[in-house]
């Protein structure tokens, strides 16, 4: 998409002119910018050259759903559109370079977010999320959701793309069929960010953490924590404070690899390399 077309669309959506678009790096799907407006504000705006249906409106709905709880700060949605110009405009968050996050405060806030709950596992609007548009059909149990909306579609994708060998894919199918054996599945659905790696946390100058780019849905709260542990970037104080505010179920440490399976397969499909080996190792540890 031409930059002037996007700039005009942002200005029209906000009712003001655009003075400057400055690229912001970090995402692997959308193109993002810091935008200076005629009225003096700075906002964050992003677009996508070929988005899946409902791409930005789904993300905006997820941000607003997280914001309802007032548990964890998320940027205010200022404008959103899927067509004719796909865009999402959010308030600008001033981050502090080298500022250490208040990890304990974040852990406590994340516990409050999860505890606010969700009406079902999945999403009532059934909108898919993430770069691979994973389904979010409403489910009554975590085992049903994780099997039918995460492990099974991801295993099919891994087979179709020949990302993973047949033995590993068979192992994923086996795990999906016996999720009830791993325990911890009797918890009610938590309100999840759904893609909680360190790149989706902004730390402002005060050390307060903000969450961006959610793949929000109702799920098992251990999923967000497993995602945090998978790629690092969160201090031990966050996990300690979380457990103090909302104690984790017995055996949660043994289920970390189980919850990491879904993001690992996604990354194996997208990037290959060492992620394939990570999936193989995780599957072997759970069989």
Q: Which domains does the chain have, with CATH numbers?
A: 3-91 (3.30.200.20), 103-286 (3.90.1200.10)
Q: Which is it for the CA torsion 201, 59, 73, 141, positive or negative?
A: negative
What percent of the chain lies above the pLDDT cut of 90? 93
DSSP 15: T
Residue range 242-258: mean pLDDT, rounded: 97
For 192, phi and psi rounded to 5 degrees?
-100, 145
Alpha-carbon distance 180 to 255, whole Å? Answer: 12
DSSP letter string over 144-170? HHHIIIIIHHHHHHHHHTT-S-HHHHH
Q: Cα torsion for 138, 141, 142, 144, to the nearest 10°?
A: -70
Is residue 192 within 8 Å of 226, Cβ to Cβ? no
Half-sphere exposure of 163 (CA within 13 A, CB side): 26
Measured from the Cβ of residue 88, the count of other Cβ atoms closer than 10 Å reads: 27
Region label for 183, one of left (φ > 0), alpha (ψ between -120 and 50) or beta (otherwise): left
Over range 265-279, report the average pLDDT.
96
Per the prediction, the chain carries an average pLDDT of: 96
pLDDT of residue 130: 84
In this predicted structure, the answer to whether residue 29 has a pLDDT above a threshold of 90 is no
Q: 97: pLDDT confidence band, cut at 50, 70 and 90?
A: confident
Residue 98's pLDDT band (boundaries 50, 70, 90)? confident
Using alpha carbons only, how large is the chain's radius of gyration in Å? 19
Query: Looking at 82, 102, 195, 224, which residue is catalytic?
Result: 195
Query: Does the active-site annotation cover 195?
Result: yes
pLDDT of residue 27: 66
- Could you tell me the end-to-end alpha-carbon distance of the chain, in angstroms, rounded to an integer? 47
Lowest mean pLDDT among 15-29, 30-44, 98-112, 201-215: 15-29
Task: Tell me the per-residue pLDDT of 139-171, one tens digit each, with 9 for 90 and over.
Answer: 999 999 999 999 999 999 999 999 999 999 999
33, exposed or middle or buried, with CB in 10 Å at 0-12, 13-18, 19+?
Answer: buried
Reported pTM: 0.95
Handedness of CA 4, 8, 11, 14 (dihedral sign): negative
Segment 76-94 shows an average pLDDT of 97
């Amino acid at each position: 998409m031409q930059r002037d077309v996007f700039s005009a669309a942002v200005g029209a959506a906000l009712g003001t002119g655009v003075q400057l678009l400055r690229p912001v790096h970090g995402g692997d799907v959308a193109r993002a910018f810091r935008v200076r407006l005629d009225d003096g504000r700075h906002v964050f705006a992003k677009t996508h050259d070929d988005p899946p249906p409902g791409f930005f409106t789904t993300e905006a709905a997820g941000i607003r759903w997280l914001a309802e709880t007032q548990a964890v700060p998320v940027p205010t949605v200022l404008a959103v559109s899927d067509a004719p110009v796909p865009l999402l405009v959010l308030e600008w968050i001033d981050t502090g370079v080298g500022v250490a996050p208040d990890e304990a405060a974040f852990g406590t806030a994340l516990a409050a977010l999860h505890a606010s709950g969700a009406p079902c596992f999945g999403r009532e609007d059934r909108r898919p999320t993430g770069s691979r548009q994973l389904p979010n059909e409403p489910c009554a149990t975590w085992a049903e959701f994780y099997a039918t909306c995460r492990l099974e579609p991801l295993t099919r994708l891994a087979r179709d793309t020949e990302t993973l060998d047949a033995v590993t894919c068979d192992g994923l199918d086996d795990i999906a069929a016996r999720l009830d054996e791993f325990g911890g599945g009797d918890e009610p659905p938590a309100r999840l960010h759904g893609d909680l790696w360190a790149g989706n946390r902004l730390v402002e100058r005060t050390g307060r953490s903000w969450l961006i780019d959610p793949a929000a849905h109702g799920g098992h709260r251990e999923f967000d924590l497993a995602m945090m542990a998978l790629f690092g970037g969160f201090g031990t104080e966050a996990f300690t404070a979380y457990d103090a505010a909302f104690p984790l179920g017995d055996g949660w440490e043994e289920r970390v690899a189980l919850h990491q399976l879904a993001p690992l397969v996604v990354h194996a499909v997208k990037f290959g390399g060492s992620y394939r080996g990570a999936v193989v190792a995780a599957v072997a540890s759970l069989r």
